[in-house]
Amino acid sequence: MLTGSIPREIAKLSNLQFYLNLSWNLLDGSLPMEISKIAMAQAIDISSNHLTGLIPPTLGSCHELQTLNLSRNAFQGSIPDSLGTLLSLVNLDLSFNSLSGPIPVTLQKLKMLQCLNLSFNNLTGEIPKEGFFANQTIIMSFIGNPGLCGPKVFMLPACPTSRSHFAVVKKILFPMGGAIVFILCCLLLGFLWRRNIHVQNFDSSESIFQKLEHKRISFQELHIATNGFSRSNLLGSSSFGSVYKGILSDGTIVAVKVFQLQNDQGEKSFKAECSVLQKIRHRNLVRIITSCSNLHFKGLVFQFMSNGSLEKHLYHDRNDNNDEEVCGLGLKTLLNIAIDVAHAIEYLHHYSHVQVVHCDIKPSNVLLDEDMIGHVADFGLARLIGADFGDSLTSTLTLKGSMGYIAPGMDFFKLVLIVIFRQQFCIH
């Protein structure tokens, strides 16, 4: 039952890393621009209040946001184009406001989005057709916006393709009975949607990680997706296990890491990765989809990285028959990848819920997506350091890392720059 406006001093919560929840109160006034200072927050829920004014465009600087819920308020004006820069966004709910204007085409860039609710506003124009709007697996709702048009699957009128006399007459003579049925269907769907959204809203007693449920995939589906873990699907292997490319039943391409259970080290590595991956999430860390475990199988399912590992690009000539070395990546690309890795290490050491020491940073453990963005992978040797875990939690107590990449006394970033310099100028 909190009242009044949200104070500008909220900017002092700049180190808030996970979840800001002010929902279901009686707050009024505008949303302060200073909310963008909470740049590390992964979820912001200010739904079910009496807030007015514009949605601050500065929210686009909260690049860690995975969930943004501003529903059931009285926000006016247009949806800021800057929301299209929130590339980590998974859930976006702006329903039950007074927003107007078109849906920004910049939202097409949100590749991680799984749920979008813009229903019951005053939005107008055509729904964008590209990007995630073309993905039929994403949950989207646009009902309650009379000025919107788009595909029939969204329960909206079709956008006019011509202004011919026949089209105008057809629109005027649309059967009144059909219109009534359509309105009743919209009201019924709106009621069911509101119930569903109410159930799915973040509860103040639960953390964000309890709400972001992971997909359930059986061993049989993984077996089919990888053609029986065939050698033709093998992406790489190590002493702890092998990684296979797989295509799930819904067409999603994944990477399946299968652990060797012939010795205790494989199972320890599996447990170590699970302990770490359930507590961390960052745009420069490889994203886990789910795990699969039984008495005879331990596996992790990751987002597929189409450009493979950094090692493949640095040493792409090793399997060639010629003796001349060729530099595969330019200095700018290498520097960007080094910065991506540095961001990931900074997050693990300083900003994650618990401190994580990777212990095995090397080119084969840096994976590249389709945009050549670096993602740190393989936490089988990682150490968790935090109050809840004693001094540490690790898969092994022996010397960590891979020979050739253990550099005691040398700053990691200096080591990366040395590698970049060597590759850029082809120094052997």
* Amino acid making up residue 34: E
Strands 67-69 and 43-45: parallel
189 neighbors 143 (Cβ within 8 angstroms):
yes
Other CB atoms within 10 A of residue 211 CB: 17
- Angle at 33 (CA atoms; ends 26, 128), nearest 5 degrees: 90
Residues 6+ apart with CB under 8 A from 385: 354, 355, 356, 357, 391, 392
Distance CA 381, CA 114 (A): 32
What is the token pair recorded at 420? 């970049």
Could you give the residue ranges of the DSSP H alpha helices within 137-295? 165-172, 176-200, 208-211, 219-225, 264-277
Which residue is associated with the tokens 């890392």?
A: 401
CA distances from 190 to 67, 177, 183, 185, 195 (A): 22, 20, 10, 8, 9
Rg of the chain in Å (alpha carbons): 25
Task: Pick the closest to residue 383 from 405, 360, 404, 406 (CA basis).
Answer: 360
Distance CA 7, CA 28 (A): 11
Residues 6+ apart with CB under 8 A from 171: none
Distance CA 321, CA 428 (A): 17
b/e burial code for range 257-284 (CB count within 10 A of at least 16 → b): bbbbeeeebbbbbbbbbbbbbebbbbbb
Catalytic residue selected from 93, 340, 360, 378:
360
Residues 6+ apart with CB under 8 A from 267: 259, 261, 298
Chain Cα centroid distance, residue 68:
13
Other CB atoms within 10 A of residue 135 CB: 11
Please confirm, yes or no, whether 360 is among the known catalytic residues. yes
39 neighbors 18 (Cβ within 8 angstroms):
no
Active site residues: 360
